[in-house]
Amino acid sequence: MQIILLHPRFSAKTVTLTHWHLILAALGFVFSVIMAASLLYYLTFRHAADLNIPLMRDMVASATHDFDDPSKKDKYIKENLAAMAMKLGEMQAQLMRLDALGERVQGLAGVKPQEFNFKELPGRGGAEPASGKEMSLSMSEFQQALDAMARDVEHRADYMNVVETALMSNKIRTKLLPTIQPVNVAYNASGFGWRVDPFTGRSAFHEGIDFASAVGTPIVAAAGGVIIAAEYHHQYGNMIEIDHGNDIVTRYAHASRLLMKVGDIVKRGQHIADIGSTGRSTGPHLHFEVLVKGMQQDPHKFLSAGANQAKMAALMAK
């Protein structure tokens, strides 16, 4: 862009403007507007009290003198205290739920109540702070700390719910595993694996454990489940089978008496039959099998796990 300047005493003069000149001129204009607005703002609010402008006077008074008025200051404090009291009440309710949840989790985990009491505050202490290392909390800072604590309590409640669910699932799975001995005897007459068959005298694989005891000795369920068989079998004699879920079935054979029928729901340790010598048997005993997906497994593995759990529970109870 070219600009021609004319003057009566001088000859014409040409000035060439590039785009850089235009950009600088625009920036200068914007800067001038900002400076003018800032100066006007400063002068207006600085001397608003001397000007007879009601709107400006009210704005300045509300911005600068709210806390000079004791009644307004008290109203502000009361409103904040009421809001914090509501927040504190919500936190107290959350803590009560958290205490109840903690006690349930404590019971599921087997922790002694005297070792971890949720209703007692933990001990705290320390050296007295040196001078200059203490500071008072403002109202806004206290409100922020209260909000942060409320969020932490809510998060911890969520974590405890997850832990409780996991512990409950584990406890249910444990109760559905055949981990308690079905007969109260000190030893078994024949274990799982290869042995000499008492009828043929030849080596044969024994698919369970034999517990020898007197006729009429109670047989209990090794775990909770549903009765899927309660019948006479030409080899197992009077026999009961319990489905424990997760493809796990237990078999109790050679009983003298069956106390359950198909479809009954039994609990862990419930009396289901009595020892006898029916079927292919040389004397009174219980033939006990554990089947996983239809395949016989060594019952001793499950019973040993149950014995170890009982020992741990006994130690934690002391």
**pLDDT above 90 as % of the chain:** 29
Phi, psi of 27 (to 5 degrees): -65, -40
Contact assessment for residue 244 and residue 250, using Cβ atoms and an 8 Å cutoff = yes
Identify the pLDDT of residue 142.
73
Contact assessment for residue 293 and residue 252, using Cβ atoms and an 8 Å cutoff = no
User: Which one of 14-28, 112-126, 203-217 scores highest in mean pLDDT?
Assistant: 203-217
Phi, psi of 201 (to 5 degrees): 75, 10
Identify the pLDDT of residue 265.
95
pLDDT tops 70 at residue 111: no
Contact assessment for residue 269 and residue 221, using Cβ atoms and an 8 Å cutoff = yes
Cα 149 to chain centroid distance, Å, stands at 18
The pTM of this model reads 0.52
pLDDT one-digit tens code per residue, 256-299: 999 999 999 999 999 999 999 999 999 999 999 999 999 999 99
**Both tokens assigned to 94:** 């959350």
**Distance from C-alpha of 194 to C-alpha of 59, rounded to nearest angstrom:** 98
Identify the pLDDT of residue 188.
77
pLDDT one-digit tens code per residue, 92-110: 777 777 777 777 776 656 6
